[in-house]
A = this chain, B = another copy of it.
C-alpha cells in the first residue's frame, strides 16, 4: 500500500537534538530528571510539537501525555511512545527516540495525506527512569493499573519531595483519569542500551521479551582478625565469602548460558583495611533471564552455594530480596510484524530479549505489545556518551512507521 513511504531522518534528528538542549550537560548528554523544571520544559516542547502536528493532546492525573491522531473509525488507538525523562548523566536517545520517532511517523503520514483506519496515539509516560522516584516505569505502571494513583502521588523522591506535589508544581497533572485512553496495541522504538546488535552488525532488534530480574543483597558477618597472626584454618572471613560469591555468580551465569546474566556490581567490606580479616561484607547480586524457570534455578543455586559457603566458613549470612520481576513475553504476531517490516526495508534483523526495563513491559499487561531496538554504539547508555548512528535511527523509525500502518490498517 504505502511501500515507498519513508520518514525524514534529518527531521527526526533535529527534534532529538532540540529536546536534548533542555537539561544539556557541559560535556554532552543531558539531565532531565522526572518532574523537575527541565522535565517541565521538555514536556512543553514535545506537547507544542504534538499540537503543531494536529494531535489531540490529553494528559492524565499521573502526568502521562497522549497525542491522538483520529482514524476513520472510532476505536481504541494503536499506541507508540516511551518517556522523555532521563537519568542524571543521560544521553539524548534513551526514551526520547520512542516519543520523537512516533511524532516523526505522524508528520510523515500528515505529509502523505494518509489516514489510518484505527486512531494512532503517541504517548510519553512519567518517570520511566526511576532516577528521582522509585519504582521506575512508574507512569506506565499506574496507567495499566499495577500501582494505585494515590500510592504513586505519595511517593517521596531522593530529595524528599512527593510525586504529587512535583506534578502540581510543574503543571503536569492532567485532567484525565489514569487508564485512558484504551489501547488496541502498543509498539515502542528504543535504543538497545547494550552491545548485541552492534557486535552482530545487525540494524534492527525484534524484541521478544523483557528479562526477568532478581536483585538480592547478602550480608556476611564473620570475625575480624589480624591478617598476620591468624592461620587460614582459623578464619571466619566475611570478605572472602563475598568475593567467593562474586566468582560463583560468574560461573553460574556461564554455566546456565543462553540469556542468563549475573552481576555483582556492589560490594563493601568492613573494616576494609589491608591487614585485617573483614568481619562484615555485603554484596548485591543481579540475576536476569528471559526464562523464569531458569531464573528460579539460578536463584536456588546461588542460595544453596551461599548457605554451604557460610556453614563451611563459620560465618552468618543475612539475605534480602531488593527486587524481583518475572520475565515479560511480547505478542507473537507483533514480533513477527516487526521482523517482517525490517526485512521489507532490507534491514538485517534479529529476535532478541531486552535486558533493561521499558514502559512496553507494563503495556504488555493490557494489550498486544512489542519493541523495536536499534544499535547503541559500544553498548553505552545512561551515559553522556550514549550514541546511535543517524542511519540506524532512521531505519528503526521506518520500521516503526510500517508496524504502525500495519496495526492501524
Give the B-binding residues of A (Cβ under 8 A): 192-196, 199, 211, 213, 215, 224-232, 234, 237, 239-240, 242-247, 250, 253-254, 260-269, 271-278, 284, 286, 288, 322, 354-357, 379-383
Contacts and interface: CB of A to CB of B under 8 A. Distances in A.
A232 B244 contact: no
- CB-based closest 10 A-B pairs: A194-B229, A243-B246, A228-B355, A229-B355, A227-B263, A274-B284, A243-B243, A247-B247, A227-B286, A266-B272
Contacts of A383: 224
Contact of A356 (B215, B229, B381): B229
Contacts of A275: 215, 263, 265, 286
A240 B56 CA distance: 51
A224 B194 CA distance: 11
Most buried by B among A196, A263, A271: A263
Contacts of A239: 246, 264-265, 267
A269 B267 contact: yes
Contacts of A261: 227-228, 230-232
A75 B395 CA distance: 95
A267 B274 contact: no
B265 A274 contact: yes
Given A261-B230, A269-B267, A225 B379 contact: yes
Contacts of A380: 225
30 contacts: A193-B229, A194-B228, A195-B225, A199-B234, A211-B228, A226-B356, A227-B261, A227-B265, A228-B286, A228-B288, A228-B355, A229-B354, A229-B355, A229-B379, A232-B254, A232-B261, A237-B263, A239-B246, A243-B264, A246-B246, A263-B275, A263-B276, A265-B271, A265-B274, A265-B276, A265-B278, A266-B274, A267-B269, A267-B272, A274-B286
